[in-house]
Copies of this chain bind each other. A is one copy, B any other.
Amino acid sequence: MDREPLKKVISLLAKIPGVGEKSARRYALFLLQQPKEYALELARAIIELKEKTGFCPICGNIASSEGDLCAVCSDPTRDRKTLCVLESLEDLINFEQSGVYSGLYFVLGGRISPMEGEDLDEEQLEKLKHYVVEKDFKEVIIATNPKVEGDLTFYAVYDVLKDCDVAISRLAFGLPVGGSIGYADRVTLHASLDSRMAVNGGKKARRE
């Protein structure tokens, strides 16, 4: 009987992807052993997160409330001719936090994964195509993840956009900066060799 509240928190936390039963238990026990203020603050923050956050109707980024444009779409200083297509909101936030990109975004909100039975939403693809054509983008960067699912997703998006009058590109594959060659897997090594950069005065190295 006295474990009911604990079981409840554990079962709710275990619904978060990547959080197993044991991790959920560890988290719940940590919450239990914290001062009451922390638990109350977290509970309040979670409610506020849902109440004071919505999604941008154009790109899918976080917005201050449902229906509002996000900080990126409403920023007049962004490059409005370049669009970066991403699988998830998480990818968008990492891009924004890195500060390396100044164009606009479009979150697919999904990916193609035959193994996990995931597919892209046809409506999202239609919405993307319409957005690209209507706003006359010059370049679309299809920034899907460097794995099989990302490849499949890339080709599906490419297929939808290939007849539009727009340059289409994709993120470079290669060694992660700060990583080490000794630990790189062979596919990454192959990609980094395949896309090697010429350094002697811009003369292109041989590429297959």
Chain A residues in contact with chain B, CB under 8 A?
1-6, 8-9, 12-13, 15-19, 23, 25-33, 36, 38-53, 62-64, 68, 70-71, 88-90, 93
In the complex with contacts A2-B71, A90-B25, A50-B63 CB distance below 8 A: no
A46 touches B39 (CB 8 A): yes
Q: For A17, list chain B residues within 8 Å (CB).
A: 26, 30
Tallying the copies of this chain within the complex gives 2
Contact A90 B42 (CB under 8 A): no
List, in ascending order, chain B residues with CB within 8 A of A28's CB: 49
Task: Return chain B residues, CB-CB under 8 Å to A3.
Answer: 62, 71
* Alpha-carbon distance A19/B23, docked complex (angstroms): 10
- 30 pairs, A vs B, C-beta closer than 8 Å: A2-B68, A2-B71, A5-B48, A5-B51, A5-B52, A5-B53, A6-B49, A6-B62, A9-B42, A9-B45, A9-B46, A12-B42, A12-B45, A13-B42, A16-B27, A16-B30, A19-B27, A25-B90, A29-B89, A31-B46, A31-B49, A31-B50, A32-B49, A32-B53, A33-B89, A36-B50, A39-B49, A40-B50, A42-B46, A46-B46
**Cβ-closest chain B residue relative to A30:** B16
Q: Which residue of B lies closest to A96 (CB)?
A: B3
Report how far A5 CA is from B63 CA in the complex, Å: 11
Name the residue in A16, A17, A19, A28 with the highest tally of chain B Cβ atoms < 10 Å from its Cβ.
Answer: A16
Smallest CB separation, A158 vs chain B (Å): 26
Which residues from chain B contact A31 at a C-beta distance below 8 Å?
16, 46, 49-50
Decide if B18 touches A49 in the complex (CB within 8 Å).
Answer: no
List of B residues within 8 angstroms of A63 by Cβ: 2
